[in-house]
Amino acid sequence: MKYLRYLALAIFTFAIGVAISPIRFYPEMISCGFGNTSTSYRSSYFMQTSKSSVGYESEQSASNAFNVELSQAVTVYDVSPKITKEGVLIDQRAVYLLYHQVNDEYYVEIMWREGQTLHFIHSRSYTHAKEFEKQYF
């Protein structure tokens, strides 16, 4: 019975530690191409999260690509402007859920447009995607 109490206390302490510890992201892979970049991160909870950007020839074509991408969403959680850490207003920004048919899984994507560039954050976890955005953007 004494060992059962110790086990319960250890599990409780572990659960509290996980609940209050911040999520940290560690880079795993970086790829660059003609106007496109992508970086993959692994979180302290072993969840893969990535950020990428795609450049377009004009702001209008980037805006059209934003709308096309958003039309493929299964569920749209938020479509609202946001102010970055530098105080820049982002007009086109969305948080939505997508389904990947090849992997047969859902993932959360945060997308925003800055001028001629679309930026994306991808993760299977809504919490990880939002925390990544908060920490880096």
| 74 occurs within a structural domain | yes
Instruction: Give the residue numbers spanning the domain of 123.
Output: 23-136
Q: Would you say residue 136 has pLDDT above 80?
A: yes
| 69 occurs within a structural domain | yes
- The average pLDDT across 57-73 equals 95
Q: The domain that contains 130 carries what CATH number?
A: 3.40.1000
CA angle (124, 82, 106) in 5-degree steps = 15
pLDDT of residue 54: 95
| 9 occurs within a structural domain | no
pLDDT of residue 35: 79
| 5 occurs within a structural domain | no
pLDDT of residue 60: 95
pLDDT of residue 2: 77
How much is the pTM? 0.82
- The average pLDDT across 54-77 equals 95
Domain total of the chain: 1
pLDDT category of residue 70 using cuts at 50, 70 and 90: very high
Percent of the chain at pLDDT above 90?
A: 64
Q: What single string gives the DSSP state of each residue in 30-83?
A: EEE-SSEEEEEEEETTS-EEEEEEEE-SSHHHHHHHHHHHHHT-SEEEEE--EE
| 28 occurs within a structural domain | yes
Strand order in the sheet with 48-55: 25-32, 36-43, 48-55, 117-123, 105-114, 93-100, 75-79
| 10 occurs within a structural domain | no
| 65 occurs within a structural domain | yes
pLDDT tens by residue, 84-133:
878 888 889 999 999 999 989 999 999 999 999 999 999 999 999 999 99
